[in-house]
Amino acid sequence: MSKTAVQDIQNLKKGPILVALLIGAFVALLNQTLLNVALPTMANDLQVDTTVIQWLSTGFMLVNGVMVPVTAYLMARFTSRNLFMTAMILFTLGTILCAFSDSFGLLLAGRMVQAAGAGILMPLMTFTILTIFPIEKRGSAMGLVGVAMIFAPAIGPTLSGWMIEHYNWHYLFYLILPFGILSIVLGALFMRNVTETSRPKFDMFAVVLSTIGFGGILYGFSQAGSQGWQSAEVLWTLAIGAVALLIFVIRQLRSDIPILEMRVFKYDVFTLTTIINVIATMALFSGMILLPLYLQNVRGFTPIESGLMLLPGAILMGIMSPITGYIFDKIGARWLAVAGLAIMTVTTYEFSQLTVDTTYAHLITVYTIRMFGMSLMMMPIQTAGLNQLPARLNAHGTAMSNTLRTIAGALGTALLVSIMSNKSAEVAKQLVVSMGVDPQNAAQMQTVGMQAMVEGINHSFVVATWMTAAAFVLAFFIKRVAIERKGTVPSKVHTTVSENAKA
């Protein structure tokens, strides 16, 4: 049995809670992209194939994506303080396993444990902020979250490239381990329970369907980028995932207490902003994936040089996110989203005009401006959608938003890389015929390959331009949600204390 001690929310120290959440989120998101540049080195060191080592990223994404839909149930069942501590302890234990692993199996196990913690943490952070901050101040708080959500993944490749160039890959995990420990300490000192807990029914069949559905979709999209959309493995995985997901949705709609509430889509602003967020996330990945490919495969830059190209944009976005959050609290999301998506559309189109001689300075400039546009709209539209939901649906809204963003990232990567690969192959065949190139001539074939890849990347950016243009049009329909002060934020914060401990 437990007893609830009640504390006035006005006396709650929100700053330390936000710091603990942000450090945890930063290190979890940094961890997602930290290995990308290091995978070839790790494959050689562990003596495994490239397709095998890729599971360190694919496996992390799958576990992370599968955990997110279940967090709405977890946030109802367990106190936010205990859930945060559990998430960070899991993440830190996984990091320790990775740091001291000497085999691929142990390293993969560590990554899976990390992913389980990270999958709980991200929706929990958003949910906690929605609960402890009044609606008119959420934009500023979510702007700080934007620093972690965009800045951390963007600096991952640069940091990883530098570490691999100077140290062993184990140091990547040594680097993030202190942050995990710090987050646990801060959580123990400052995290509070911000919601009532209950005992909702645990629908095991729904969890199995969710795991198969989201896992199948994510795995299928991730493999499509490398194996192609015609691969039997990709098609079967997507089909099984889609069927499981359909059954899961039907079961949730018929359930009185669903694990993941689909009725959040009855709220028009939430639905609209979620669609825009999905499109923007897919377009964001076009730059983060395609530009390093162009720099390394066409221009011959090193991984650390290609990572450094992304860095100014990431820094600018980190600076702008809190400022954008403050502006959102004053004027709402519509005009921020319109301005941001207008900039994104123009700069994405500019990337569709690449040549084999496009300068490094031009790429940095356009990419930095593009990230400025992203900083104007990413967090405001998410916050605007969540603001429309009643407090009882906050946990489900954050879980749904994070789930769809994860899927959008996988889909964007697979779709845009696939479009690039197919167009490159088509152009290469045309160039060989039109230029009379001898397939046995390595120098000529290299020239053809570089030109074909540029054409493929340009074509992929054309598709991304149309995506951002569609999101730009949709942004005009975002409404400002009326602030309902009553019931928006609970007047009390609940701290669970063991009866036995009290005795």
Residues 274-299 have pLDDT tens digits of 999 888 888 877 677 788 778 877 88
Say if residues 232 and 180 touch (Cβ distance below 8 Å).
no
Supply the mean pLDDT for the chain: 80
Q: Is residue 484 scored above 80 in pLDDT?
A: no
Say if residues 347 and 369 touch (Cβ distance below 8 Å).
yes
Give the angle 460-462-466 at the CA atoms, nearest 5°. Answer: 120
Dump pLDDT digits (tens) for 315-348. Answer: 888 788 888 888 888 888 889 999 999 999 999 9
pLDDT band, very low/low/confident/very high, at 461 (cuts 50, 70, 90) = very high
Tokens of 336: 């921020």
Q: What percent of the chain has pLDDT over 70?
A: 89
Say if residues 52 and 104 touch (Cβ distance below 8 Å).
yes
User: Is pTM beyond 0.85 here?
Assistant: no
Looking at residue 97, its pLDDT comes to 94
Cβ density class 216-254: b for 16+ within 10 Å, e for less: bbbbbbbbbbbbebeeeebeebbebbeebbeebbebbee
Dump pLDDT digits (tens) for 192-202. Answer: 777 676 777 77
Quote the CA–CA distance of 492 and 73 in Å, as a whole number: 22
Cβ density class 422-442: b for 16+ within 10 Å, e for less: ebbeebbeebbeeeebeeeee
Quote the CA–CA distance of 417 and 218 in Å, as a whole number: 15
3-state secondary structure of 477: coil
- Which residue type is seen at 345? T
